[in-house]
Structure 1
Amino acid sequence: MKIAIISDTHGLLRPEALTAIESVELILHGGDIGSADILSQLAQIAPVHAVRGNNDLNLPWATDLPDHLTLNLNGWPTLLTHDIADVPALLDSLTRLIITGHSHKPLIEWRGDRLYLNPGSAGRRRFKLPVTLALLDIHAEALEPQLIHLLP
């Protein structure tokens, strides 16, 4: 299973992002979406699961979005939430994949038998941080994450 993980679009869905994710089977958005149109565009590529970010909280179209999701991705118990600060209160002992956004700083890090993944920000560049998203190949026995840089 190949999935795209995108976050912090803040109302901007770059053509480079659409090109990078055109062949995925599922899309996860880690919040700070910024516009319902972003989710509509992503849904034209593959099914989308999204959580609200702090900048989505007062937007009428985002009221039905959850603050976090637990998913089973090809046998991998997964937690999707916007802010890593919320992870300790939400973490289940079986969770093996933790996906967050918020910081705009990409992260792919194994902590024991858990993969922590932050795709960074795919929207407007913040400070000198890269503009990125992540692709994740999920096999029954392995996770293969890849960070995709959208701008030089």
Structure 2
Amino acid sequence: MRVGVISDTHGYLNPKILQIFRGVQHIIHAGDIGTMDVIFNLSAIAPVIAVRGNMDTAEISSTYPEDHRLQLAGTDVFITHNGGMLLRSPNAFRARCGPKRPDAFIWGHTHRAENRVIDGMLSLNPGSAGKPMFDLPASVAVLNLEPGQPPRAEIVTL
């Protein structure tokens, strides 16, 4: 299963994303969506699973949860916005995610892409897909999930 992963759009959806995400079965948005138009346009490609970010409006914050945990293709996936804080504190991580580590931990907030495995768990931050900030390139990720296999991801610079 191919899953598009995006974060920190801040109301801007780069047209290149529509091509990159063509054919994905789901799209995960890890917060700081900006406007509901972003969700509407992504939904034309595939069903969207989203969490709210620290910069999201009241409308978005009341529509989407802070965290979301789900199974996709037999893979345990946990989504949050400010995941960097949780990765730095094992106690905070357990308090938020529970005693069982997810197979894939998806987060945003820093605008800095990350694709690494930590103690068998994929830590994936797609970077910011919005207009570039902080001298960082805009990016998204494509997550590949296969039952019985560890999750794999690729960061795609826009």
TM interval, shorter chain, is over 0.9
CA RMSD, aligned part only?
A: 1.2
The CA deviation string for residues 25-75 of structure 1, in whole angstroms up to 9 with x for no partner, is 00000000000000000001000000000001x432441210110011111
- Structure 2 length-normalised TM: 0.90
2:151 to 131, 143, 147: 143
Mapped contact 1:42–1:48 kept (Cα < 8 A): yes
Deviation at 1:94, TM superposition (A): 4.1
The CA distance in 2 between the partners of 1:21 and 1:41, in whole Å, is: 12
The CA distance in 1 between the partners of 2:33 and 2:55, in whole Å, is: 8
Total equivalences in the alignment: 149
Change (3 A) 1:107 1:61: closer
Unaligned ranges ≥5, structure 1: none
Deviation at 1:130, TM superposition (A): 1.3
- Structure 1 length-normalised TM: 0.93
Mapped contact 1:106–1:118 kept (Cα < 8 A): yes
Match of residue 24 from structure 2: 24
**SS, match of residue 141 in structure 2:** strand
Pair 1:131-2:135 in alignment: no
The CA deviation string for residues 59-117 of structure 1, in whole angstroms up to 9 with x for no partner, is 32441210110011111111100001246131231411100000000001101110100
The CA distance in 1 between the partners of 2:111 and 2:29, in whole Å, is: 13
**SS, match of residue 49 in structure 2:** strand
Letter of the 2:53 partner, please give it: G
The CA distance in 2 between the partners of 1:54 and 1:61, in whole Å, is: 11
The CA distance in 2 between the partners of 1:142 and 1:95, in whole Å, is: 11
Matches within 5 A, 1:39-50: 39-50=39-50
**SS, match of residue 27 in structure 1:** strand
Mapped contact 2:52–2:60 kept (Cα < 8 A): no
Unaligned ranges ≥5, structure 2: 88-92
Matches within 5 A, 1:1-152: 1-56=1-56, 58-84=57-83, 85-86=85-86, 88=93, 89-92=95-98, 93-140=100-147, 141-150=149-158
Mapped contact 1:36–1:62 kept (Cα < 8 A): no
Mapped contact 2:137–2:157 kept (Cα < 8 A): yes
Give the share of equivalent positions with the same residue, in percent: 36
**SS, match of residue 37 in structure 2:** helix
